[in-house]
Each structure stands twice: as C-alpha cells, then as structure tokens.
Amino acid sequence: MLHRHLTHQQFALAAIDDVIARGKRPDCAALRRAALADRATLEKVLRVCQAHVADPYAQRYHFWKQYAERYLA
C-alpha cells in the first residue's frame, strides 16, 4: 500500500495509522510481520492506537492495541 504523503515505505507513525485505518488484508499482514520482527514497530502501533481507543467504534484500533499489548508483554 502506498501511504499518503510519504516518500518511503517504512512503518512510520503515519504509515501505521494509514494501514490500520484504510489497509486491506495484505497491508495488515505486512504490518503484522514488521511488528513481530521489530519491537519498536509494536510500540509504534500501540502509540497510534492509544489516540483512537476513546472511540468505541474504532474497532480496528482496538484490535491492533490488544495485539500489540499481547506481544509486548
């Protein structure tokens, strides 16, 4: 997935937010692989999700928050 306003394909905070909000299954799989390979990426996922968990309808963010917390523990 090409991320809006980014010139690289690393998982920066904006790229993670874009994948969680609008990504398709292959995009989420790539984020999952990157998160499992790098603890810093998991921490970024958690940071992005913290900004959205107040919304009970932001189910993707709730899922990824729980996923990141599970693997950071």
- Assess if residue 8 is contained within a domain: no
Task: Count up the domains in the chain and report the number.
Answer: 1
Residue 18 in any domain: the answer is yes
pLDDT of residue 10: 77
> Over the stretch 18-36, which tens digit does the pLDDT of each residue have?
999 999 999 999 999 999 9
DSSP state of 3: P
Place of tokens 């900004």: 51
Rounded CA separation 1/65 (Å): 21
Distance (Å, whole) CA 24 – CA 20? 9
Instruction: Give me the residues of the chain with pLDDT under 50, please.
Output: 5
Residue with tokens 């970024």: 44
Which phi and psi (to 5°) does residue 52 adopt? -115, -5
pLDDT of residue 33: 94
Report how far residue 61's alpha carbon sits from residue 54's, in angstroms, rounded to the nearest whole number.
10
Instruction: Domain of residue 19: give its range.
Output: 13-72
Residue 59 lies in a domain: yes
Tell me what pLDDT residue 1 has: 57
